[in-house]
Structure 1
Amino acid sequence: MDTLDFLVAIPARYGASRLPGKPLRLLAGEPMVVHVARRALAAGAAEVVVATDDERIAEAVRGHGVSVCMTRADHASGTDRLAECARQLGWAPDRIVVNLQGDEPFAPAEGIRAVARRLADSDAPMATLYAEFTDTGTAFDPNAVKLVRDAQGHALYFSRAPLPWHRDRYAGDRVSALPQPGLRHIGIYAYRAGFLAEFAALPHGQLEQAEALEQLRVLEAGYRIAVAPTPVAFPPGVDTEADLARAESRIISSRDAAPGSTRTEDE
């Protein structure tokens, strides 16, 4: 296993609008946030911290090999919540912190390590991952965030719109495939801990407000974001009741396929 030293922080707030109490919703009898914490531990993180505003979430993860950081409830984003943790816990400025969302119970260990490695190999303060796609359905889906990068592997822009805009191919009807693969953003980030405070202090720029993408705050302020391809696919996260049911079925199916095992297929 890669000996890279990094920690994983899991922002987990109780008041999700589409699925209230989401971190505590049960998957195969255990709170979802516990499954996420296991993914972080499986990735080889030196430390896993759950950043939450609710004592019920803190209690759910105690005894599972992770730490808890109690935060304010009014943070605008998970990154802002982690900035508070960096202050509270005194993380060294150059410490690599991976932000793993609390609704990613199947996040692959290889992907978690990959974003930490991309940051370690870069002088950028922040890193993230992408996956290639070739269908125009993804290109025109506003819920699928696209990105373009420069020749050195840094993000130039993120957008919910098709990116780049293929002038000739999109001039008329949508086509069935792109002339070359596009890049879909994978929502996992790594930061140098010292940058978290700088991020939280940045004003919300016009680009971020227009696209509702917090990473644009970083680019608009002139910072670089290193990007890399994900080595494995990231299964969908859990945002709705339907997502929760699919996740439950996935865990049950994987257990049925391996009698006597309590591990998920990604572990």
Structure 2
Amino acid sequence: STRFPGKMLADINGKPLFMWTYDGVKKARKLDHLIVATDDERIADVAERHGIDVMMTSPKCKSGTERTAEVAKNLTFYDVVINIQGDEPMIKSEFIDQLVEVFEANPQIEMATITTHIRTKRQWYNPNVVKVVTDINGFALYFSRSPIPSENTEYFPPRRHIGIYGYRRETLLRLAELEPTPLELAEKLEQLRAVENGIKIFCLDIPEAKDLISVDTIEDIELVKKFLHD
């Protein structure tokens, strides 16, 4: 993380951030194989000491999508790949199962992600909280760090994005080969590369995920510590 160097190893109540995420999803029934993908030897060392499968990836990866694709190239026997960003320490295994079930139930879906409700004005205006608007079928129209669609939310309750993605393997590999796009670079949001290239992203809305805290800043670490302690 350029905004928070060493973020994945940040201590939360005696355990590194990424280990909270790993422990939160390892019981997912729909995951056949769970891997920590990193270019950081320190993260790999911690993971291996806990008996976790690790794949070292190139330091040239510009996003989690590219890193996940590098791993997926070697996993030819999987149809669906889930990219779980390591800065989601409060994620639950059942959310991952629900995302996998989207692909099982809908063979035409190429890519999907998780969204939930925005609870506060602070979240609404926080650029680290990514907002999303969808079409009437639940596919993303746009993601932004700015408040969208507008403050008049009577017709479209505001929703935020959770950093979990699912892809058909072929879609993931194709996406990673595409050049960064103008809106992706402007918003600093990797999923806009898919949107700009016509890859439809289904947004699975999970109301129970509304209390999740994604870690983007040191202040978020303190919030998570308090929440997990309580």
TM-score of Structure 1 vs Structure 2, range by shorter chain: 0.7 to 0.9
Q: Tell me which amino acid in the other structure corresponds to 2:47.
A: V
Give the drift of 1:42: 2.4
Q: Show the counterpart of 1:182.
A: 158
| Alignment of 1:206 onto 2:201 | no
Q: Superposed, which structure 2 residues align to 1:103-118 within 5 Å?
A: 103-118=87-102
Pick the aligned partner of 1:81 from 39, 55, 67: 67
Task: List per-residue Cα deviations over 1:107-141 (Å, max 9, x = no partner).
Answer: 12222222222233331211012123476654444
Distance 1:145 1:21, change over 3 A: closer
| 2:128–2:216 contact (8 Å) kept in structure 1 | no
Say yes or no: does 1:215 pair with 2:199. Answer: no
1:23 equivalenced with 2:8 (yes/no) = yes
Q: Which among 93, 98, 101 is matched to residue 82 of structure 2?
A: 98
Partner SS for 1:148: strand
CA distance in 2, matches of 1:133, 1:241: 21
Work out the percentage of aligned pairs sharing the same amino acid: 38
- What is the correspondence of 1:26-45 to structure 2 with a 5 Å cutoff? 26-44=11-29, 45=31
How far does residue 50 in structure 1 lie from its aligned partner after superposition?
Answer: 0.3
The 2-side partners of 1:143 and 1:247 are apart by 15
Count of equivalent residues: 226
Task: Provide the rounded CA distance (Å) in 2 between the counterparts of 1:247 and 1:238.
Answer: 8
Q: Which of 217, 222, 228 pairs up with 1:240?
A: 217
Higher CA-based Rg: 1
Match of 1:252 in 2: 229
Deviations 1:12-32 (A, max 9, x none): xxxx23332222222232222
Distance 1:214 1:140, change over 3 A: same
Give structure 1 stretches of 5+ with no counterpart: 1-15, 170-177, 254-267
What is the DSSP-based 3-state SS (H/G/I as helix, E as strand, rest coil) of the residue aligned with 2:154? strand
Structure 2: tracts of 5 or more residues without a match = none
Which segment drifts farther, 131-140 or 232-241?
Answer: 131-140
Query: Matched residue of 1:245: which SS?
Result: helix
CA RMSD of superposed structures (Å):
2.3
Does structure 2 retain, via aligned residues, the 8 Å contact 1:40–1:109? yes
- For residues 133 and 242 of structure 1, the distance between their equivalents in structure 2, rounded to whole angstroms, comes to 19
Structure richer in helix, relative to its length? 2
* Cα 1:137–1:112 shift into 2, 3 Å: same
Shift of 1:84: 0.8
